[in-house]
Amino acid sequence: MGTNNNKLIEMIKRNYSTIIIGALVLVLLFVPEAKAVVQQGFMKLGLFQPKLEKVETTTKTEANYKFEMVDANGKATTLEDLKGKVVFLNFWATWCPPCIAEMPTIQTLYDKFKDDKDVVILTVEVEGKRDKVAKFMARKKLTLPVVYPTSAIPTDFFNGSLPTTVILDKQGNIAHTTIGMADYSGTDVEDFLNELKTSK
C-alpha cells in the first residue's frame, strides 16, 4: 500500500511540475512584460549592444523633414524644427516585449542628455494609444518624452519592425539605425551622440 502511495505522490509531483512549467511558458509567450523581463536579463549579460561602428550616412530628404509628431499635451514637432540637433528616435509600442525591455536603457540615456540643448531623445509610439502609454509610463516610472506620429513615418526611418531606433546627425542625415532590441545605457552610445554633436 505504501509503495502505491509513494508512486501516486511521485506522479502528482511530476504533473504539478509540468503544470507549473507549462504555465510559465504560457506567461512568457503571451505576457509582453514577462518576456521583457527575460530579455532585460540577456541585456544585463552584455548582449544586444547597438553596433555603432557600422554607421552608414544617407542623404536627407524633404519627406524626412516633414515628419510630424505630437506629444501628450498636443504640442506638435517636426524634424524641420529639430535641425541643428542630434536626434535619437525610438519607434515602439506598448505590446512589444523587446520595446519594453530596452525602455529602461533609453531612460538612462535620456537622463544623461535631458539638459543638453544639442541632443533630442524622443520615443515614438506608433499606434497612438495615449491612455495606455500614460499608464505604462507611470507604472514603469519612466519620464522619457513620448510623441505620436501625425503624418506618415518615412520608410527610411521605420519599415514596420519594432523596436527601431534611428539617430540623426545635426544635418539630418541618418547616422545610425538599429532594428531590434538594444541596450542604450552604455558609454559607447553616449560617446557616439557627443561625437555627432561636435562633428561639422
Which residue is associated with the grid cell 511530476? 14
Question: Can you tell me the distance from the alpha carbon of 187 to that of 49, in angstroms, rounded to the nearest whole number?
Answer: 11
pTM over 0.85: no
Q: How confident is the model at residue 123 (pLDDT cuts 50, 70, 90)?
A: very high
Question: Sign of dihedral through CA atoms 190, 117, 106, 93?
Answer: negative
Residues 6+ apart with CB under 8 A from 171: 60
Number of other residues whose CB lies within 10 A of the CB of residue 15:
10
Gyration radius of the chain over CA positions:
21
Query: What is the fold, at CATH topology level, of the domain defined by 62-198?
Result: Glutaredoxin (3.40.30)
pLDDT tens column, 66-110: 899 999 999 999 988 998 999 999 999 999 999 999 999 999 999
Per-residue pLDDT tens over the stretch 126-141: 998 899 999 999 999 9
